[in-house]
Amino acid sequence: MADSPFSLSGRVAFVTGCGSQGPGWGNGKAIAVTFARHGAAIFGVDLNPAAAEETRRIVEGEGGRFVAGTGDVTDRASVERLVAECLTEFGRIDILVNNVGLSLPGDPATMSEETWDAQIDVNLKTAFLCCKAILPIMEKQGKGAVVSTSSTAALRYTGKPQAAYAAAKAGLVQFSRVVAIDYARRGVRLNCVLPGLIETPLVAKLAEDFATKETGTTREAFYARRHEQVPMGHMGEAFDVAHAALFLASDAAKYVTGTEIVVDGGLTSAVRN
């Protein structure tokens, strides 16, 4: 593995949103475990300490290195503390994964200003704050890779009103492009992964929420609808996202910066919603 361009041996990855919102594999959890399997030491951050600890147990159970950090990455002081903890533990940061995110429905007429601000904070400001703290470290080291989890909602209407989420995820893509050019000659690459419909614990929770007497929608119908939307006929899994992130973080992508990988089974190329 050490000779593979996909090897992350000797590198430290700072992964936000490293846990899952329930049993199973969320994107951040799969990314952290995949990076560890390819040799990286992981500093995993999550708002939920138990979720981070679950990921730590998996990584350490497979012989990897993982330190869990708890904090709110919408807060600058919290980000600076977490970055300092990572440096104390590992002495460097080679990879930053901006993976926190949350989608709340609504259009400008129905959404509260507080919800709008919170959506921008969690989906976009978090990447700004983490980059603000970590890019200077990478520049001093002479090399680094930033991978941010955006969404196909950044590219097209995905079938539900989520104006703030879509705007923030589109902003994340353009933020990454612009900063990538600024840092192209400083040895730091920035790219995004854009997941489409991925089967995760969060989706399972949404399915349960929709399976109510009020909506008359069953969990099975919810899943069937999502599978049907995808040209391939099924949702993806978190490791599909993780493998794209691995490519972008590794030397296999050493000439790739300021761009995106769409992981959606053909969804954004289709006309239907």
Where in the sequence numbering do the catalytic residues fall? 165
Backbone φ and ψ of 72, nearest 5°: -100, 110
Helix boundaries (H) for the chain: 27-37, 49-61, 76-90, 113-120, 126-141, 163-182, 201-210, 219-229, 238-249
CA dist 82 and 42 (Å) reads: 13
Q: How many CB atoms neighbour CB 29 within 10 A? A: 30
In angstroms, how far is the first alpha carbon of the chain from the final one? 41
CA distance 31 to 149: 10
From 127, 119, 72, 75, select the one nearest 97 (Cα to Cα): 127
The one-letter amino acid code at 94 reads: D
Report the distance separating Cα 182 and Cα 64, nearest Å: 34
Contact between 176 and 148 (Cβ < 8 Å): yes
Sign of CA dihedral 41, 124, 195, 197: positive
